[in-house]
Chains A and B, each alone.
Chain A
Amino acid sequence: MMFARGLKRKSAEEPEDVEGCSAGAQAMPSYSLQRQSLLDMSLVKLQLCHMLVEPNLCRSVLIANTVRQIQEEMTRDGTWRAVAPQAAGRAPLDRLVATDILCRSVREQEGECPAPDMGDGQPDLVPGLAVAPAAQAPRSPQSSLWEGDSSRESRGGFQKSLDQIFETLESKTSGSVEELFADVDSSYYDLDAVLTGMVGSTSSGPGSGLQAFASAATSPPSSSCRSDLGELDHAVEILVET
C-alpha cells in the first residue's frame, strides 16, 4: 500500500528492518517508520477526541478507520505481532516516532534516507509519554478489532480507547464521562501544549476546569417580553390583516 504518492513498498520477501537505514534498503525502513508514526498519531488523536470542544463523530470514525487499515496491513505483513516481543524489552519511548519524521519523509522521497532515530531528538513529544501501543499479546490475524465480546483489558489499551470513544459519544450521562476521564493518563494533558492544532481552542487545560463554575453567559432578551410582543403582533395582524 502506498503511503504517499511516489513512495513505493519494497517487496514483501525482504525482512523488515525498523532499526535503521541500511545501505541498500532506503525505502522500506522509511515506509514502516512512517506507518508507525501515522498509527501513533492517529491513536493520540483518538484519545484526544473527547477533549475537543466539539466532539466530531465523523472525524473519529475516519481516524478509527485509518487505524484499522494500518492494523490490517501490519497484520498481513506479520509486523503487527512482531511489535510485541520487540517492544517488551524496550522503553515505550523507543516506539514513538516523531511526527516530523512522518512529514519529512515525504519530502525526502527523492532518495535521501531519513534519520531513523527513534530514541532521541524528538522535540515534539514529551519524554516518558506512552501512547497506547498495539496489542501486546499475540493475536490471530483474523481476530477482528471490533469484536464486542469478553473483557477489553486483554486487548490492550488501543481497543479500549476505541470502545470508549464511541460509547462516550453516545452516552448522555455525566457518569460515564467521568469514568472516561478517570482512565486517561494525566500525561496526555501535557500533549495539549504540543498538539494545539488538534485540540479545540481552549486556554485552560482539560484537567483544570473540572470543578470550576463561572458565572453563566449573559442572558438572552427576556422571553416574556418577547411573548408580549408576539401577542401584540398577532393582535395588530388581525386588525390590519398583514
Chain B
Amino acid sequence: MAGPGGGGCPAGGHDLQWCFSQVKGAVDEDVAEADIISTVEFSYSGDLLATGDKGGRVVIFQREQENKSRPHARGEYNVYSTFQSHEPEFDYLKSLEIEEKINKIRWLPQQNAAHFLLSTNGRFCFKLRGQDKTIKLWKISERDKRAEGYNLKDEDGRLRDPFRITALRVPILKPMDLMVEASPRRIFANAHTYHINSISVNSDHETYLSADDLRINLWHLEITDRSFNIVDIKPVNMEELTEVITAAEFHPLQCNVFVYSSSKGTIRLCDMRSSALCDRHSKFFEEPEDPSSRSFFSEIISSISDVKFSHSGRYMMTRDYLSVKVWDLNMESRPVETHQVHEYLRSKLCSLYENDCIFDKFECCWSGSDSAIMTGSYNNFFRMFDRNTRRDVTLEASRENSKPRACLKPRKVCAGGKRRKDEMSVDSLDFNKKILHTAWHPAENVIAVAATNNLYIFQDKVN
C-alpha cells in the first residue's frame, strides 16, 4: 500500500484504520523505573527499530521478512540486539543508585552491512563525580562465521605458551549461528555540562550536533576528543538566565542549516555558513501571544518540547504543552497549522503545575510522506492529525486492545458538561500513563508508541 519512494497513502483521521500489531515489554503493573522507555527510533529503512530505556539499555528490533504464506501481514519486529549503552551510576551524596537514562537515539544512514547509531545519556551530575554526559556511537553488526585455528589461543580461548608454537597456520572460517553484536566505536565525552536534550545527524553523514540546555556543539563522527561550539546562550551571570534550549535538529537536506527551540516558545534557524558561532540566527519564529488567554502559566505551556523538520525540509513542527504547530520555513511570523492535542487540560493547568505534569516533554513525529503528524498525550492516548483531510483522531495504547490485527477504536475526552456514553471525563484520565515518545516508519504506515515500559506497534489495516 505504500507508494514508491515512501508512504504515498493518506494517513490518520478516518481514512485509515489503525490496528494492533505487537506489544513488547512486561505485563506487570509494577513497573521498574529502569524499564521505562525513554526514546524510540526507526532506522532509515525502517527495518530496524531501536528503543532506549532509563536503565541505559538499548533494544533493537528487526523486522522479519514478509511471510509468503501470509502476504497480507507485514513482517513482525523481533528482538535483534540488546546492549547496555550507558552504565548505571551511584550517587554517593544521596545514597541512591541512579540509572543512566538514554535520552536520544539517532540512527546513521546505512553505508555497509553494519548499522550505526548514536545514543546519549543526558544525566547531569553536579556532585562528586563531575559531569558525566557522553554520546556513544555503536556499531551493530552480524556475524555468521567464526574463525578457528588461531595460533596464539587454544580452541577454548586460553592463551598458548608461545614457546610451544612451532608452526604457523592460517585460521579457517566456519559457519556459526547468527550473532548480532553491538560494540562502541566512539565515545564523545565531556563537552556538555548540562542536560543533553538532542542529537541530530547531519545530511552530510559526517557531522552531528548535540544540544544541552545552554549550548549546541558540532561533532565530526571520527573525532571524539573535540567538538565545535556553535551556539552558546549561557549568560555571564547565571542569575540572568531566563531561557534555555529545549531541542535542536539539522535540516534534512541542507547540511549547513539547523534549528533550535527554546523554553519561551521560540525557534531560531541558523546557517553555519554565515558565521562560525551561530549566536545570530538567520530566522526567528515566534507566534504572537493571544492576550485573551494569558495566565501565569502561559510561558510554561509555550515552552517547546520537540522540534522536527518534515522529510521534505520545507516545514518544521513544534510541540508545546497543549498543541502541535506546523511552520513554513519561509514564514516566521506564525505557524501555518496549529493542532490542539488536549485543549481540555487548559482549565487544569494549576493542578498540572502542582504535580509537575506541566513540565512533561512530549515528542512529535511526521509520517513518511509528511501528510500526517502524531504526538502523545495522557492516559496512554496518542493523537494523529491528517494535514490533508484536516481530521484528527485519538487512539489508545492498551493491553485491552491487544488482539492481533484488532482495529483501534477512536477515543474521546469530554471537556465539560454532559458526558456521552463512550467519552472519558478529564478527571478520570490517568496522568501517570503518558505517551512521550512515538515514531513513524519512514516509508509505511507502521507506528511505534512507547507507553511507560511497553512498546506498541500498530499498522494500518491491510485489506
Contact = CB atoms under 8 A, between A and B. Distances in A.
Q: Do A and B come from one complex?
A: yes
Interface stretch (B14-22, B44-52, B60-68, B292-300): B292-300
B130 A58 contact: no
B347 interface: yes
Contacts of A201: 33
A25 to B, nearest CB: 21
Nearest to A230: B183
Contact of A148 (B93, B239, B350): B239
Nearest to A216: B90
A242 B113 contact: yes
B96 A66 contact: no
Interface in A1-36: 1-6, 34-35
Nearest to A62: B300
Interface stretch (A131-139, A164-172, A185-193): A164-172
Given A172-B131, A174-B128, A1 B296 contact: yes
Contact of B171 (A99, A103, A216, A239): A239
B84 A220 contact: yes
A197 B244 contact: no
Contacts of B346: 5
B126 A61 contact: no
Interface in A148-177: 148, 162-163, 166-172, 174, 177
B183 A66 contact: no
Interface stretch (B353-361, B437-445, B454-462): B353-361
A40 B349 CA distance: 16
A41 B354 contact: yes
Contacts of A88: none
Contacts of A79: none
A165 to B, nearest CB: 9
A182 interface: no
Contact of A172 (B84, B126, B237, B297): B126
A41 B173 CA distance: 68
B269 to A, nearest CB: 21
Given A65-B242, A162-B239, A213-B92, A56 B359 contact: yes
A2 B299 contact: no
B97 A197 contact: no
Interface string A211-242: 01110111011000010011011011001101
Given A57-B213, A174-B127, A242-B141, A202 B96 contact: yes
Contacts of A2: 293-295
A143 B269 CA distance: 34
A113 B271 CA distance: 55
Contacts of A242: 113, 141
A70 interface: yes
A35 to B, nearest CB: 8
A102 interface: yes
B239 A56 contact: no
B88 interface: yes
A70 B297 CA distance: 11
A198 interface: yes
Contacts of B359: 56, 58-59, 62
A71 B97 CA distance: 38
B315 to A, nearest CB: 25
A92 interface: no
Interface in B73-87: 84, 87
Interface string B177-196: 00001010000000001110
A112 interface: no
A50 to B, nearest CB: 9
Contacts of A64: 242
Contacts of A208: 95
B347 A5 contact: yes
Contact of A214 (B95, B141, B297): B95
B96 A233 contact: no
Contacts of A56: 195, 359
Contact of A38 (B89, B244, B296): B296
Interface in B332-361: 346-351, 353-356, 359
With most chain B CB atoms within 10 A of its CB, the pick from A62, A103, A212, A220 is A62
B361 to A, nearest CB: 8
Contacts of B195: 54, 56-58
A55 B356 contact: no
Nearest to A205: B94
B240 interface: yes
Most B CB within 10 A of own CB, among A34, A171, A208, A217:
A217
A214 B141 CA distance: 38
A1 B147 contact: no
Contacts of A6: 347
A202 B95 CA distance: 10
B183 A233 contact: yes
B1 interface: no
A66 B356 contact: no
A62 B238 contact: no
B33 A177 contact: no
Contact of A177 (B127, B243, B299): B127
A226 B347 CA distance: 54
Nearest to A196: B355
B98 interface: yes
Given A217-B90, A220-B84, A61 B244 contact: yes
Interface string B383-425: 0000000000000000000000000000000000000000000
Across the A-B interface, give the 3 residue pairs with the lowest CB-CB distance, nearest first.
A209-B95, A166-B238, A212-B95
Interface of A: 1-6, 34-35, 38, 41, 53-59, 61-62, 64-66, 69-70, 99, 102-103, 106, 146, 148, 162-163, 166-172, 174, 177, 197-198, 201-202, 204, 206, 208-210, 212-214, 216-218, 220-221, 226, 229-230, 232-233, 235-236, 239-240, 242
7 contacts: A57-B213, A57-B214, A61-B243, A163-B239, A216-B90, A235-B147, A239-B171
Given A57-B124, A167-B238, A209-B93, 13 more contacts: A2-B294, A4-B347, A38-B350, A54-B124, A99-B354, A103-B351, A148-B240, A170-B126, A171-B126, A208-B95, A217-B88, A230-B183, A240-B145
